[in-house]
Structure 1
Amino acid sequence: MSDTRAAETDAGKVVFERFVDLWNGEVDFADTPEFIADDFTVHSAELARYLGFPDSRRITTRDGLLDWVTSVRTLLHDVRFTTRPGPLREGDLVAGGYTVTGTYAGGAPTATVAPGTAVRYSGMSIIRLENDKIAEYWVLSDALGLLSQLGAVPRP
């Protein structure tokens, strides 16, 4: 691997890890312009009606993303994203798997479980970088698993 490609790979991994740290509440929102583009697009399943989140399919700005992050951290007050495996970089894309753990704080419109219920689910994130900032985010999570743990849908 060339020195340039190795440096790009390392930079992409650093941005990915900062993104995970954002979800974990370890990055101040004021610092996000350093690694998230002003124009930001999310590609995900629609969970807004089940969980009371902003509709992630309509997020087109960094501020929209921060509203979504706040909603997740409010729903699961001690949320923790742990990456596994990765992150891996190819060109302008960086990908990594993750496991999410947290405790339901209440407030989801379709949830039937009591606040205090522990949840755990997994997923995969892919980010596209532009000038070393995240411009697009694809999230592929076990949404059905999360919804069933919250009692929002019947267990499979």
Structure 2
Amino acid sequence: MCCVGTSPILLLSLISNQEFIMSFHRIKSSIIGASVFLSILLAVSPAFGQSEHVESYREAVQRVTDEGFNQGNIDVIDAIFSSDAVIHNADGSLASVEDFKHFIATIRAAIPDLEATLNPLITSDAYAGFRFVMTGTFENAFVMPDGTVIPPTGMPFSFAQNIIVRFDEDGQIVEEWDAGDNLSLLSQLGVIPMPEDAGSQIVDEPATDGDDTIAPGMEVAHRDVVLRVFDEIINQGNLDVAEEIFASDFTHREGGEMYDLEAWKMVVTTFRAAIPDLELQPDIVVAEGNYAAVFYTLRGTQTGEMPLPDGSILPPTGASLELPSIILIRFDDNGRIVDTWDEYDNMTLLGQLGLLSEPDA
């Protein structure tokens, strides 16, 4: 919902940097991470209320984090994921379970002190939604499936994703949607320059107080609030209802930046001016206690001027946008939205705006 979340130096280097473009197109289909590219769904898929399998779902997600990423036990993936599970990548490509296992092994080899955490973890019916954060130090070469070697930088690494997974009747994960910024990932791997003034992508992570995630009974009401935000505020532009939906101390986090309510409303206004036919479609809503995870797709046409981070203005391009995202939402005890963490892939957005081009064959 914001402008292109890229630093001025980095954005300007992307537009005409052929070396970067070649590296990006070589790598983009290989790295598992960031958001998904779904076809239009006819209605929201609700996921709220507890099932008898919810606790086992929580344990499965935690095992992937602890045993798979932190301990390097790749075999745990076969126990938790269905063999034909589909993982939706940031650029619209699909990954298999074998691709996922390769990614875990590769990133652990490149970042020996890798630590993965998830918080909050929201489970409901056949779904789980969570915020997944990897940190460590890029000490060894990152070897791509095609043999491309990315040399280590020796620099700290931090990468956050919002993720939703779906379980089958046997309790295995059969589908996964990832949302995160490949632009941040590639810059931290040294594929593209990291601006000197670049801050961490990780901004004010959710509190670890588990009580927030298990307060029962408000899931339906929270889902209705979520749908009002998408329909009334963003799609219709009725900002007057924001005061009754959001808490006075509301904070939105996106692209390494933080916004209070007034700043967020300005972002919505600016984006609607740049994309007059803007529509955000919430496709999956996972709600539990005081949290919700929402997979949504932004669609529209950039027929208005769009401000860029360097202060310049992108003229109308007529570009059609279809940008998948996942947002995590926390409600206060009064049912108002108090915190949000939004993730999408800036690389996909830049490409759709025409700021990246395919390399010559």
Q: Tell me which interval the TM-score lies in, with the shorter structure as reference length.
A: 0.7 to 0.9
* Aligned residue number for residue 95 of structure 1: 129
**1:71-112 deviation per Cα after TM superposition (whole angstroms, max 9, x unaligned):** 222222221111122x11122110100221011122365857
1:107 is the counterpart of 2:107? no
Distance 1:29 1:119, change over 3 A: closer
**TM-aligned CA deviation for residue 43 of structure 1:** 0.6
Contact preservation (8 Å) 1:110, 1:152: no
Q: How many angstroms apart in 1 are the aligned matches of 2:116 and 2:179?
A: 14
* Aligned residue number for residue 205 of structure 2: none
| Corresponding pairs, count | 141
Contact preservation (8 Å) 1:23, 1:81: no
1:121 is the counterpart of 2:166? no
* Aligned residue number for residue 172 of structure 2: 133
Normalization by structure 2: what TM-score? Answer: 0.35
Identity value in percent: 19
* Aligned residue number for residue 15 of structure 1: 60
**Greater fraction helix:** 1
Counterpart of 2:62 in structure 1: which amino acid? E
Q: Which structure 2 segments of 5+ residues have no match? A: 1-48, 199-361
**TM-aligned CA deviation for residue 15 of structure 1:** 1.0
**Aligned residue among 175, 180, 188 for 1:149:** 188
**TM-aligned CA deviation for residue 26 of structure 1:** 2.6
Distance 1:23 1:102, change over 3 A: farther
Q: How many angstroms apart in 2 are the aligned matches of 1:144 and 1:22?
A: 28
Q: Please, what is the CA RMSD of the aligned residues?
A: 2.7
* Aligned residue number for residue 313 of structure 2: none
SS at match of 1:83: strand
Q: Which structure 1 segments of 5+ residues have no match? A: 47-55
Contact preservation (8 Å) 1:76, 1:103: yes
Normalization by structure 1: what TM-score? Answer: 0.74
Give 1 or 2 for the bigger CA radius of gyration.
2
Counterpart of 2:173 in structure 1: which amino acid? I
Q: How many angstroms apart in 1 are the aligned matches of 2:86 and 2:160?
A: 21
Distance 1:65 1:99, change over 3 A: closer
